[in-house]
Structure 1
Amino acid sequence: MAENSNLVNEVIDFVNSGLLLSSVKQVVLEDAQIADLDTAKKYAWVQVYGEESFTWSDLRSEKMSEVWDMVYGGGEKYSEMDIKLSELLDELSNSVQKQLSPKHRELLDDIVSDLKCCLYSRAVQGKTNDFFEGIFSTYLKGGWPCGWAGDWPRGHLLVYRDDTTDTGGGDA
Structure 2
Amino acid sequence: MVREVELGENSNLVNEVIGFVKNRLLLRSVNQVVLGNAEISDLATAKKYAWGQVYGEEFFTWADLRSEKMSEVWDVVYGWGEKYTEMDIKLSELLGELSHSVQKQLSPKHRELLDDVVSDLKCCLYSRAVQGKTNNFFEGIFSAYLSGGWPCGWVGSWPKGSLLVYRDDATDTRGLRGDA
TM-score range, shorter chain: over 0.9
Q: Which amino acid aligns with 2:33?
A: V
Gaps of 5+ in 2: 1-6, 171-180
Which residue of 2 is the match for residue 19 of structure 1?
A: 25
Query: How far does residue 69 in structure 1 lie from its aligned partner after superposition?
Result: 1.5
The counterpart of 1:139, out of the listed 139, 145, 156, is: 145
Among residues 100, 105, 118, which one is paired with 1:112 in the alignment?
118
The 5 Å alignment of 1:1-172 reads 1-23=7-29, 25-30=30-35, 31-163=37-169
Deviation at 1:70, TM superposition (A): 1.6
Q: Secondary structure at the match of 1:3?
A: coil
Detail structure 1 runs of 4+ shifted over 6 Å in the superposition: none
TM-score, with normalisation over the residues of structure 1?
A: 0.92
2:178 is matched with which residue? none
- Whole-Å Cα distance in 2 between the matches of residues 88 and 69 of structure 1? 22
The CA deviation string for residues 103-148 of structure 1, in whole angstroms up to 9 with x for no partner, is 0000000000000000000000000000000000000000000000
Task: Name structure 1 gaps, 5 residues minimum.
Answer: 165-172
More helix by share: 1
* In 1, Cα distance between equivalents of 2:153 and 2:14: 24
Percent of aligned pairs with the same residue?
Answer: 80
Give the number of aligned pairs: 163
How does the TM-score come out when normalised to structure 2? 0.88
Shift of 1:99: 0.3
> Residue deviations 1:9-62, cap 9 Å, x none?
000000111110002x22333311110000000000000000000000000000
* Alpha-carbon distance, 1:78 to partner: 1.3
